[in-house]
Amino acid sequence: MSAANLLAADLAVAFLATVGWIGAAVTLGTGRLLLARALCALAATASLARVATTAALAAEGWWFAQEKVTLTLPLLLAGGVTAAVLAGPRVFGGARPAGGRAVAGLLIAGYAAAAGLVFPLLIGYPATWSAALLTVTLVGAATLVTWRAAGAVPRAGTALVALAGVVGAGLAFVPGGTVDSGGVPSRLAAGQARPVSALRGPTEPAPGGTVRRYDLSARQATITLASGRTVAAWTYNGQVPGPAITAVEGDLIEVTLRNQDIDRGVTLHWHGYDVPNAEDGVPGVTQDAVLPGQDYTYRFLANQVGTYWYHTHQVSDRGVRMGLYGTLVVAPRGAASTGLDMTIPVHTFAGKVVFGTHDRAEVRRVSQGTTVRLRLVNTDSTPRRFTFAGAPYRLVAVDGNDLNGPGELSRAALRLPAGGRYDLAFTMPDGPVALLAGDDLMTGLRLSPDGSAPAVENTADWPELDLTRYGTPAPAPFGREDRHFTMVLDRGVRLTGGPKYAYTINGRAYPDTPTQVVRADDLVRVTVVNRGLETHPWHLHGHRVFVLAKDGRAPTGSPLLLDTFDVRPGEVWEVGFRATNPGLWMNHCHNLSHADLGMALHLAYEGVASSFHGGHS
């Protein structure tokens, strides 16, 4: 059973234990002895099952079982013993303990079982002293109220519970560390640091290159989709997607952004492109947001070939959703332009999937024998499933990086993370082909030699391609790391910036997340653990990462160099990168609503500091 299934199973048995103990108390109190016995048996079985799920989760990694081993399982076992001592004689032996102590014993076990359900859902990782004391306080307070109803109130217990609550509440407000040095002592000397604003791009192209200039104007507009449907959008130059930015390797890309009427401001972030830090487009960190009437010019060298995209990073959860995005494609220098090359950003407007501007099937005529490259860009905040029918093909690049020896594929589904890109290549056959998103037969792309669009087979049962096993292995050396960071992704109630049900990293929500600090040329290993119930597409700005392992297994296919990777529930990813791009970088979940609710932090190079306010919208 996978870690994700074990996490779900543990929550299920915690729920059954809670319902069983409390239900037994209620039915015993109303005299239904047989039902009380059945519910006690259910609760006891579920409680023992939690021992098994906890042991299995501990085998998957301490991250998955920490609070269960140290807190909630001991509470549950203590509650079970209390129920057995106080209620066992009455429920199974027919004896009649004094007063309502039998009912009280069952309720106390129910409170202890509820901690195993509530803690992972409302508090999450890790089980800190404050969280543990507050949990014990709540269980203890409920126990004292129940004892009072049963006619016995131990005063010493009341004092201990009150003390635990005060201490736990106090520790919850103790500020955490502001720096995570990855196990290596760091020297942060902000007074001597180079400002982020000095880390600008060049002003001249590489030899043989040219300057590619673009003007983008951010403004609200009504756009018309291919079906004739109109949508209120935020746009670059009045269109969604924004103008396609193209260049050839070695060119200088210069883009001037102006804001006409986006009240909260805009920026341009070059997703997956390792630009100099001041060109990264992160408001409050690398620049100020571009407010209405203002402008900002970005310059960087086109030194990465492949498929990328740009989007606003100011209030990005809403801005990208409303349409502030476009594509960036850089071709290799000297490569001949042959065949059909299509860049297809896929987005969701008001619940409708759109390929570019097509909200229904787009049909194109393509001659047999034509070489075709389809560049897929997932501009949404959730993963997208694609299928391609009608011809064998190869997945030749991921996140702009070519794969080694990609094999021929057919009847395979491709899962594309939020923000990720896939390049598909094939030769046009003598019949039609179809690209589908989410197995929706009514939308997508159709190519055919005669321009027709016949019916497409249902692809819902096609198996998903495992990227870690696709392609041909090749040496991807990654020696002993200089630093190692661990990020455990979870969810819980946090008080940072006001109470909210936050997405957390190691128990903290942005801006309370400690900054990861590296030195130039460090070899950095990062462990990313998802012990929550949702997928988190992870995206580090300014760097691409090598996949070293997934769930403890090294890739057996092509080396994977990514800028966005999906960490699904229960998964553990090991990735690494060389710190060769000085700056102060965002490191965050690219489900942008998750980032907005706390799942973000900074990666900082020693000797670099931001002259901006340091926050981020």
Which domains are delineated in the chain?
3-172 (no CATH), 182-199+474-609 (2.60.40.420), 205-337 (2.60.40.420), 339-345+354-465 (2.60.40.420)
- Asked whether the predicted pLDDT for residue 185 surpasses 90, the reply is no
> Mean of the pLDDT values across residues 312-320?
95
- Asked whether the predicted pLDDT for residue 87 surpasses 90, the reply is no
pLDDT band at 140 (very low <50, low <70, confident <90, very high): confident
Tell me the average pLDDT of the chain: 90
Q: Do 176 and 514 form a contact (C-beta atoms < 8 A)?
A: yes
Per-residue pLDDT tens over the stretch 428-444: 999 999 999 987 888 89
- Asked whether the predicted pLDDT for residue 547 surpasses 70, the reply is yes
Peptide linkage before 511 cis (omega within 30 of 0): yes
Please, is 151 exposed, middle or buried when counting C-beta atoms within 10 Å of its C-beta (0-12, 13-18, 19+)? exposed
Per-residue pLDDT tens over the stretch 577-598: 999 999 999 999 999 999 999 9
Q: Do 446 and 364 form a contact (C-beta atoms < 8 A)?
A: yes
> CA–CA separation, 597 vs 266, rounded Å?
19
Tokens in use for 328? 């960036």
- Asked whether the predicted pLDDT for residue 161 surpasses 50, the reply is no
Share above pLDDT 90 across residues of the chain, in percent, rounded to a whole number: 71
Q: Do 482 and 524 form a contact (C-beta atoms < 8 A)?
A: yes
Within the chain, what is the greatest distance between any pair of CA atoms? 94
Q: Residue 523: name the closest of 587, 567, 575, 459 by CA.
A: 575
Per-residue pLDDT tens over the stretch 103-126: 888 888 899 999 999 999 999 999
- Asked whether the predicted pLDDT for residue 557 surpasses 90, the reply is yes
Q: What is the pLDDT of residue 496?
A: 72
Share above pLDDT 70 across residues of the chain, in percent, rounded to a whole number: 92
- Asked whether the predicted pLDDT for residue 152 surpasses 70, the reply is no
> CA–CA separation, 517 vs 177, rounded Å?
12
Q: What is the pLDDT of residue 211?
A: 97
Among 180-189, 269-278, 372-381, 411-420, which is the least confidently predicted range?
Answer: 180-189
> CA–CA separation, 609 vs 602, rounded Å?
12
What letter represents residue 492's amino acid?
G
> CA–CA separation, 494 vs 504, rounded Å?
9
Pairing of strands 483-494, 523-530: parallel
pLDDT band at 98 (very low <50, low <70, confident <90, very high): very low
> CA–CA separation, 102 vs 100, rounded Å?
6
- Which of the 8 DSSP states describes residue 153? -
Per-residue pLDDT tens over the stretch 226-268: 889 999 999 999 999 999 999 999 999 999 999 999 999 999 9
pLDDT band at 453 (very low <50, low <70, confident <90, very high): confident
pLDDT band at 150 (very low <50, low <70, confident <90, very high): low
- Asked whether the predicted pLDDT for residue 292 surpasses 70, the reply is yes
Among 346-355, 393-402, 418-427, which is the least confidently predicted range?
Answer: 346-355
Which element (helix H / strand E) includes 571? Answer: none
Helix axis angle, 33-60 to 73-92, nearest 10°: 160
> CA–CA separation, 110 vs 22, rounded Å?
5
> Mean of the pLDDT values across residues 299-319?
97
